Amino acid sequence: MFCTQQPRSAHGFPLFLLILRRAGVLARLLMCSILLLMMTVISGKVSEAQAAGSSAGKHRPAASGAKGRKRVVRKKAAATTARAPARARRRGRGAATATAAAAAGATGAATATANSPQANAKPELLARCGFTAASQRHIFSRGVYVLDEQTNTPLYERNADTVAPIASVTKLMTAIVWLDQKTLPMGNRLEVTEDDLDTLKFTHSRLNVGASLSRADMLHIALMSSENRAAAAMSRDYPGGRPAFIAAMNARAQAMGMPHTHFENATGLSPDNVSTPRELAELVKAANRYQLIRNDSLDKQKIINIGRGQLQYINSNRLIRYGQVNATVQKTGFINESGHNMVLRLLVHDRRPVIVTMLGSGSADGSRLDGVRIAKWLNCSLN
């Protein structure tokens, strides 16, 4: 066989082995360079992810910020220390807490705005609650005034400044003037006399001449059942007599800012006892300040001791008698010249006072239905 002599290096190694050795060194250098380049690229991406995660903690919801940081931690774990993921997680939790606090603050601010007085500064009756032009045409009373007492905002008006007879709504002023006496023993008895009979309309009464009632009972049935002879006896039982009492009623009306209101007697049987729906709202406000007026006008029934027996009286207002509305003060009235009248101080949702005055319905049912309709408007429209 023929053998070929292999080239040798100066050190005696075969030349191809020397070449392979040097090639291995170059390969290792190349691999190190590639590894270093990969680490540099990964480090750059990790830094970008950290910057993005920091921004997300400020501007994105807490959940997405937390997830972003978890991905960053996985990529960074192979090339960074163990403390970096913990710091990233802490920053994520801080960002989530800050975001949640900001959301809670925004919700609280929105709630405060909704519940602030400005949000309810201008209440109104709403069409979706039945307050439409068509439903307004079904109101029977000729004069109506609805006042939100909380904001002093008129919610509905119909002929609110038209002067008209008010009939037994008068008895609210009768009660106010009578109770304003400095000393008034309510337990003392008051007797019905000939001077208390109605010589204007010749109306009938269950209180006969000679009947004796306590002052408290006189006030009670005058307000609850609109008993005319009781109101007449009260006006007579006044320092200076009945003329002084009527003068005091008119003076009180002027002091209350009711320039178009006038009284001729304490019962309301005179058609010259007049006012307007708007001015009667002031009378209702004033009457509501008296505990006895509130209690007596809302009582549903009472048995009265008249000295020679007993009489049972019921409330003349069917809205109150059957619990159809929640009110703090009420009074009804009727004479032919006035039609059927009603005034109420309603509590909408058992807390919000609204005054309703209605004059001139053609029937008692019409006045009652007006009260029901207006109460429904109010309960739906107001908070």
Catalytic residue among 76, 141, 225, 226: 226
Assess whether 171 carries a catalytic annotation. Answer: yes
Pair of tokens at residue 244: 């002084």
Nearest alpha carbon to residue 375 among 341, 325, 328 = 325
Pair of tokens at residue 39: 């680490």
Nearest alpha carbon to residue 319 among 302, 333, 301, 332 = 332
Please tell me the distance from the alpha carbon of residue 108 to that of residue 147, in angstroms, as a whole number. 32
Catalytic residue among 141, 168, 316, 338: 168
Pair of tokens at residue 330: 């009420």
Alpha-carbon Rg for the chain, nearest whole angstrom, is 45
Over 64-126, what HEC string results? HHHHHHHHHHHHHHCCCCCHHHHHHHHHHHHHHHHHHHHHHHHHHHHHHHHHCHHHHCCCCCC
* Residue 282 DSSP one-character state: H
Please name the amino acid found at residue 251. A
- Its sign, for the CA torsion 113, 119, 120, 124, is negative
Assess whether 367 carries a catalytic annotation. Answer: no
* Residue 262 DSSP one-character state: B
Q: List Cβ neighbours of 172 (8 Å cut-off, separation of 6 or more).
A: 223, 283, 284, 287, 293, 297, 329, 331, 343
Nearest alpha carbon to residue 290 among 165, 186, 153, 142 = 186
Catalytic residue among 76, 141, 171, 331: 171
Pair of tokens at residue 269: 């049987």
Assess whether 33 carries a catalytic annotation. Answer: no
Residues linked to residue 340 through DSSP beta bridges, in sequence order: 334, 361
Catalytic machinery residues: 168, 171, 226
